[in-house]
Structure 1
Amino acid sequence: MPRTRTSEPAHDSADTPAPSSKPQRRIQSIEVGVRVLQALVEQRRALPLKELAALADMPPAKAHPYLVSFMNVGLVQQNPATSLYGLGPMALQMGLAALQQLDALSEASDEAVRLCTEADLSVAIAVWGHLGPTVVRLDEPRYPMHVNMRVGTVMSVFNTITGRVFAAYLPEKMVRSVLEDEHRRVVGGASVAFDAPEVQQMLADIRASGMGRGLSQPQPGINTLSAPVFDADGKVVLVLTVFGPQGVFAAGIDGKEGQLLRMHAEAVSRRLGFDPGAKIKQ
């Protein structure tokens, strides 16, 4: 729940620009120069001037002064042995500072709202809590739907699609610990379900498709799709889940809703610094 401010700090009007609907002034040369940095970011390797200029869509003679300026402030560095240009220490510091300011739930919440509207389905965000997958946000579509889920609900590891997606990407030791605790609380005794061949195949299928799917489960009449969100280290930080009535939601991984879910989950991962080409950590 957002906090209510009882008072606002006083501001000097001379220090605070007044809101304006007019277009703000831009410095075109900075926008042009950033194309050089963007090329280095996208290629993820040091480049010669000619290739870098081509990727930035400008002649080498135009790219070089930008590189000199970026080197002066540490955004770019040049290898004296190869003359190749790469990102400099200031670029690294800026990247790390940006990552530290990111909040996974805040980034995912905006995407969840859009996904709910575009798919016209319920959308849940779950994180891995000390008892297992825990719902921290729930967005509802236009039509009412009765499901046994609310913010704060702790979901089963293997009996929910959200839990299965977490299990597919989290470290095995972490999953086993919560799974065994869940089994003791619900059934009693130790659980060996994690080692069952069919369970291992289920987790492998989720990793292969990048998504979990449930038809009329965990609740009869409700279909579900769940997708992971990764951080800059390639670790799963939360799971986005869409669910709806079986009669209107086929839950096809390659269907419209599946593509929307994948697109929004990947958008959150990118904003958290995840490289789609990087190895996912477990």
Structure 2
Amino acid sequence: MDTNKPMPVIGSLQTGIQIIDTLIEQDRPLKFTEIQELTGITKSNLYKYLNTLTMLGLLYRDKKKGTFSLGSKLIEYGNAAIGSENVISRVTPYLKDISRHTQLTALLSVWTHDGPVIANIWSASYGLNIGAQIGTKLPLLSSAGKMMAAFQQSPDVNEWKISELKNLTDDKKERFERELDTIRNTYFSYAGEPLVDHVSSFSVPILNYKKELVGAITVVGFNQLIPEHPETDISQFVLKNAFELSESFGWH
């Protein structure tokens, strides 16, 4: 059997995904002419693709502005892929309360097969750019990444850690492992500027009855607003909410 033989594919499906990928890459609503220019799809075919994708809920068309953006159906698919729909619905009211209380952005991240991703965001009113959106994969050295590494135990996590740490010196790897021990004891992780300059974050865990990690709540804001230790009022407020959530999943 020739294992190098190309697998048969459906070209039109690839083209439809290309349109979605283009909107993701541009990270903003696009007009028809912009999509046509970026994808190179002929106008007659592009009309058909956009109409089909919009009808299926994979794209949303703003009739007033004449722009296309990602549709709500993609969020459903994303939630199903990471198996977190129940977690998201349970955590969202807490994210809202944390954001309102702290005047900072609160987000939920969950583990997938190749690292943590953002599953939901409740933004502060001043519109801080945190450099991420729902579906963004987070690096190991982010506060959520550290929380996953500290509490999530599986072969996938070990492989991810090895891959993410491969460029660090042995001394830095040892310091990182010591930091994970502290995180397990305090239920608190901090990271300075993991994605965007002048923006830092701290994370706390959501645990279940097996003391396994369900997800992590992360608070994001400008460096001077984010506490680096669990003893502050903001840290304690978020930890209290995380413990309450954990108890709802059976944690004691």
Q: Tell whether the 8 Å contact from 1:223 to 1:251 is kept in structure 2 after alignment.
A: no
Write out per-residue CA displacement over residues 138-195 of structure 1, whole angstroms, 9 at most, x where no aligned residue: 11011121221100000112x21100011001116332212345578xx7xxx89799
Do the aligned partners of 2:113 and 2:156 also contact (CA within 8 Å) in 1?
Answer: no
Whole-angstrom distance in 1 between the partners of 2:107 and 2:237: 14
Mapped to 2, the partners of 1:163 and 1:199 lie a distance apart of 12
CA gap 1:173/1:195 in 2 versus in 1, 3 angstroms: farther
Following TM superposition, by how much is the alpha carbon of 1:125 offset from its aligned partner in structure 2, in angstroms?
0.3
SS at 1:247 equivalent? helix
CA 238–194 in structure 1, closer or farther in 2 if over 3 Å, else same: farther
- Pair 1:150 & 2:133 matched: yes
Structure 1 residue 225 corresponds to structure 2 residue 202: yes
Amino acid of the residue matched to residue 148 of structure 2?
F
Superposed displacement of residue 218, structure 1:
4.4
Measured after TM superposition, the shift of residue 110 of structure 1 is 1.3
Aligned length: 171
**TM-aligned CA distance change 1:250 to 1:227, over 3 Å:** closer
Q: What are the within-5 Å matches in structure 2 for residues 141-220 of structure 1?
A: 141-157=124-140, 159-171=141-153, 173-181=155-163, 196-220=173-197
Structure 1's consecutive aligned runs of 4 or more residues displaced over 4 angstroms after TM superposition are 181-184, 191-195
Q: 1:172 to 1:196 in 2, by over 3 A?
A: farther
Q: Distance in 1 between matches of 2:155 and 2:183?
A: 19
If the length of structure 1 is used for normalisation, what is the TM-score? 0.55
Name the CA distance, whole Å, in 1 between partners of 2:205 and 2:234.
Answer: 15
Q: 1:180 to 1:250 in 2, by over 3 A?
A: closer
* Larger fraction in helix: 2
Letter in 2 for 1:130: H
Instruction: Determine the C-alpha separation between the residues in 2 that align with 1:173 and 1:192.
Output: 23
Residues of 1 paired with 2:204 and 2:170: CA distance? Answer: 22
CA RMSD of aligned residues (A): 2.7
TM-score under structure 2 length normalisation: 0.61
The 5-angstrom pairing of residues 253-272 of structure 1 reads: 253-272=230-249
What is the CA–CA distance in structure 1 between the aligned matches of 2:96 and 2:106, rounded to whole Å?
Answer: 8
Identity of aligned residues (%): 16
Unaligned runs of 5+ in 2: 1-71, 74-84
Matched with 1:235 is 212
When residues 247 and 181 of structure 1 are mapped into structure 2, their CA distance, relative to the original with a 3 A threshold, is closer
Alignment of 1:12-31 (within 5 A): none
2:178 and 2:218 mapped to 1: Cα distance?
A: 21
Per the alignment, do residues 218 and 233 of structure 1 end up closer, same or farther by CA in structure 2, a change over 3 Å counting? same
Looking at structure 1, the residues matched to 184 and 100 of structure 2 have their Cα atoms a distance apart, in angstroms, of 27
Equivalent residue letter for 1:228:
P
